Amino acid sequence: MLPTQCLCTNLRRAARGVSRHYDGALDGFGINVAQYSLLSNLKRLDQPSISSLAEAMGLDRSTLGRNVRVLEGAGLLKMTEGADQRNRLVCLTKAGEDCLEAALPAWEAAQQRLMDRLGETKRTQLLQLLDELAGPD
């Protein structure tokens, strides 16, 4: 790797490394880190609209829509009509819940390995810095 002082390059490089770490942990479950995150957020939000799910995840609707279609095709989530016909809700299926439950120990182990690697102080600092960078300009 070429060393650089560019924050963007270094953050993207780190993000790819972290994604590879979690993807490796999820290898046997048929989902990747982005899909696991979507399913986890979906479970926490309990049938959100596409718009509210996209907002909660910090994604644009089109990016989220592509991921939703893949997971819908795999039977892990489904779309239902909301109270307003223009509003569609995203629902976790039983297969989606089962997938999350099965993958959770692998996810937690991957999380623990990264936390151990950083240590508590660096982990706390990293989370604070990332929150700061993710906020509005």
Band (85; pLDDT cuts 50, 70, 90): low
Q: Distance between CA atoms of 66 and 43, rounded to whole angstroms?
A: 18
The mean pLDDT of the chain is 93
Q: Please check whether residue 10 is in contact with residue 64, taking contact to mean a CB–CB distance below 8 angstroms.
A: no
The answer to whether the CB of 100 falls within 8 A of the CB of 36 is yes
CB-based contacts of 37, cutoff 8 Å, min separation 6: 57
Average pLDDT over residues 40-61: 91
What DSSP element (H or E) covers 79?
A: strand 77-81
Convert the pLDDT of each residue in 95-113 to its tens digit.
Answer: 999 999 999 999 999 999 9
Pairing of strands 77-81, 88-92: antiparallel
Beta pairing partners, 88: 81
H/E element holding 78? strand 77-81
What is the pLDDT, as a whole number, of residue 61? 87
Q: Look at the domain 30-126 and name its fold.
A: Arc Repressor Mutant, subunit A (1.10.10)
Instruction: Work out the pLDDT band at 14, boundaries 50, 70, 90.
Output: very high
